[in-house]
Chain A
Amino acid sequence: MVPIYMTFLVGGALCLIGQLIMDLTKPSITPGHILVGYITGGAILSGLGLYQPLVNIGGAGATIPLSGFGHSLTQGALKAVEQKGILGAFSGGVEATAAGITAAIVFGYVMAVLFNPKG
């Protein structure tokens, strides 16, 4: 069990970096770039074995941010390659993150049915 303050520190640091990237660079860096960049960055770091240590010290502070999603994608793909061979590289990532993806679709759908967006 990771102490809660470590979770806070690691998660907070990841968010701080994202905020600083937006504040200190040209406005052409949009939240969309941060989103895609964090997922890709997390996936690459995970593949290099550099993200797991962050999860070990930060727990949910490292897995909940977008980079944690990238980490899950990579780990799922690596595991599936061991079991199924090269095809696993294509299926494993989505299998490992299926709960998150399905939750996003289901809740997104429910919200779209319940509320009427204006903007």
Chain B
Amino acid sequence: MTAPKKRGMQTVVLNQPPVLTSWAAVVGPKEGEGPWASDFDWVLDDYNFGEKTWELAESKLMRETIKLAISKGNYQEEDIEVMLAGDLLNQIIATSFAAREFKMPLLGLYGACSTMAEALAVAAMLIDGGYFLKAVASACSHHHTAERQFRFPTEQGVQKTPSSQWTATASGAVVLDALGIGPRVTSITLGRVIDMGQTDASDMGSAMAPAAVHTIKTHFQDLQRPNDYYDLIVTGDLGKVGMALAEQLFVKDGLVPRPNYSDCGVLLFDHNQGVDSGGSGCGCSAAMLCGPLLKKMHEGQINRLLLVATGALMSPVSQFQGETIPAIAHAVAIENI
């Protein structure tokens, strides 16, 4: 027996697709110098955001983004019944600290940089399941908190390799509503953990690309859709190195003709911004979705979008112990219907 809304191996379809009624994206100064500055709701002047520490700044980033998404949709805070969110910090403190100022219940999620898609997926299933009418999904990251936790103290000035990525200071939040006007979440493919034995944390794009391609391929198989169904497929944060690998894997896995494909990590910054392979972090795909991408959907330039947010699920401890990097990618189909 199969669950009535499940298709194939890893995909679910939503019978009454929840509506993305309102969204907001707030980004840091460097992201504001990139190609999409006018598509974000707010570009911060500095990395501290008026707070004492970068961790508190990251938390405030998420809180303000959620507040903005709620108010942009003419909702009150009390209208939102549940918050699904996550970030990159240990014990997802940016999220928990942001949530202590809200009255709604919290489901904290950790999917590394795939968190935005994970939050959207769980929120959409909760609403379609009839458990809630309104939910908010959010994810954020901060360049300096991520550097501190996953790499080296920034003051040490350690040299980066060309395959390394720049963790975005960015946050995105979406309000999902059972009713309303806007693009809808129509189907979801939850990703499997794929580990190809890559151990280099300064090349996470290559570690995550196989997971992204696996999820995309499974999505098409499960729904028996043609490769050109979507106007755009965006992966989360593979960067230039990972995106090049993903394009090779598309061919190898028989996803030809190649779908119309891009990557949030490649899109977020200009090539001359000194970000090596591109952007990364939960906030990278969250802000790209809640900034330029949903705006283009709202304007009708994109009608079918597949967001495939990708996450590298290592920890600083596992890195020190020489473990390989497990990677994951969740796909969320967003359509104007």
Instruction: Check if B159 sits within 8 Å of A119, measured CB to CB.
Output: no
**Quick check: B155 and A119 within 8 Å, CB to CB?**
yes
**Chain B: residues with CB nearer than 8 A to chain A?**
53-54, 144, 147-148, 153-156, 158-159, 161, 199-203
Q: Which residues of A pack against B, CB within 8 Å?
A: 22, 26-28, 30-31, 117-119
The verdict on A31 contacting B144 (CB below 8 Å), with A26-B200, A118-B54, A119-B153 known, is: no
Chain A residues with CB under 8 Å of B159's CB are 22, 31
- Among A27, A31, A119, max chain B CB count under 10 A is at A119
Q: Which of A22, A27, A31 has the most CB of B within 10 A?
A: A27
With A26-B200, A27-B200 known as contacts, the answer to whether A119 contacts B148 (CB < 8 A) is yes
Name A's interface SS: loop
Residue of A nearest to B319 (CB): A28
How many inter-chain contacts with C-beta < 8 Å in the A-B complex?
27
B161 partner residues in chain A, CB cutoff 8 A: 27
By secondary structure, the B interface counts as loop
A27 touching B202, Cβ below 8 Å: yes
Considering only CB atoms, which chain A residue lies closest to B48 in the complex? A118
- B202 and A117 contact, CB distance less than 8 A: no
Given contacts A27-B202, A118-B144, 14 further A-B contacts (CB under 8 A): A22-B159, A27-B161, A27-B200, A28-B200, A30-B158, A117-B153, A117-B155, A118-B54, A119-B144, A119-B147, A119-B148, A119-B153, A119-B155, A119-B156
Write the chain A residue with the least CB distance to B53.
A118
Q: Nearest-CB distance from A81 to chain B (Å)? A: 36
Contacts of A26 in B (CB 8 A): 200
What are 23 A-B contacts defined by CB distance under 8 Å?
A22-B159, A26-B200, A27-B161, A27-B200, A27-B201, A27-B202, A27-B203, A28-B199, A28-B200, A30-B158, A31-B156, A31-B158, A31-B159, A117-B155, A118-B54, A118-B144, A118-B154, A118-B155, A119-B144, A119-B148, A119-B153, A119-B154, A119-B156
